[in-house]
Amino acid sequence: MAITAALVKELRERTGAGMMDCKTALVETGGDLEKAVEYLREKGLAKAAKKAGRIAAEGLVDSYIHLGGRIGVLVEVNCETDFVAKTDDFKALVKDIAMHIAAAKPEYVSREDVPESVIERERQIYRQQMLNEGKPEKIVDKIVDGKIDKFYEEVCLLEQPFVKDPDKTVGQLLTEKISQIGENIVVRRFVRYERGEGIEKKQTDFADEVMSQINK
């Protein structure tokens, strides 16, 4: 059975789980909506999604400074209670997120944070590329939608593959932790600095160096 956007949307509305989690559940259950609901419940993702609306005003601001001071990250991750914020599990999560930001260079926390003007600019670029390649007009918009989804995966923290476990996204990692900890967890904001960024010079990719430090 084809996994349509409408089916993913319906499952999301029923469970409150994230779009990627809903899509995975439908793929795993062959597109059976009822089985997908049960799949999400068994994984604890539906339960975690219900916590997502709760206020998270505690938490931590943490930093990651790459060896040699080439890259620096500040990130604020919120939870519901000061008790959870002081646990080793939560501290480790925040540190992992900071290291991920250093390595993966996201520009936004989620797709909701991406300005509409940016999306429209990307959409126009992709559309013109497809037309230049001679793609039929009737399928161009569908192709462009796919490219926009890929764009979100590249620039949005929650949609990027987690650097320490690329089989899951950062958003899925947070959902797992919400289920385990029992509190809502939100990445509120971050800032990433790279030494010499914006200054014209020989370009060097520091992401591999960051990853080498993470994997030690």
Q: Percentage of the chain surpassing pLDDT 70?
A: 85
Contact 158, 35 (CB under 8 A): no
- Work out the angle between the directed axes of helices 170-181 and 88-104 (0-180°, nearest 10): 180
Q: What is the pLDDT of residues 161-209, one digit of tens each?
A: 999 999 999 998 998 888 888 888 999 999 999 988 877 655 445 566 6
Contact 102, 210 (CB under 8 A): yes
Q: Give the model's confidence band at 113: pLDDT under 50 very low, under 70 low, under 90 confident, else very high.
A: very high
DSSP string, 176-213: HHHHHHSS--EEEEEEEEETTTTS-S-----HHHHHHH
Domains annotated for the chain, with CATH where assigned, are: 5-51 (1.10.8.10), 58-110+156-214 (3.30.479.20), 115-153 (1.10.286.20)
Give residue 23's pLDDT.
86
Instruction: Confirm whether pTM is higher than 0.85.
Output: no
Give residue 122's pLDDT.
92
Q: Which of 148, 65, 137, 132 is nearest to 101 (CA)?
A: 65
- Work out the angle between the directed axes of helices 5-15 and 19-28 (0-180°, nearest 10): 110
Work out the average pLDDT over 104-128: 93
Give residue 19's pLDDT.
74
> b/e map of 22-46 (b: 16 or more CB within 10 Å)?
bbbbbeebeeeeeebbebbeebebb
CB atoms within 10 A of CB 58: 17
Q: What is the mean pLDDT of the chain?
A: 85
What are 116's two structure tokens? 């509409």
Sign of CA dihedral 85, 90, 93, 99: positive
Whole-Å CA distances, 156 to 67, 98, 189, 193, 213: 25, 14, 12, 17, 23
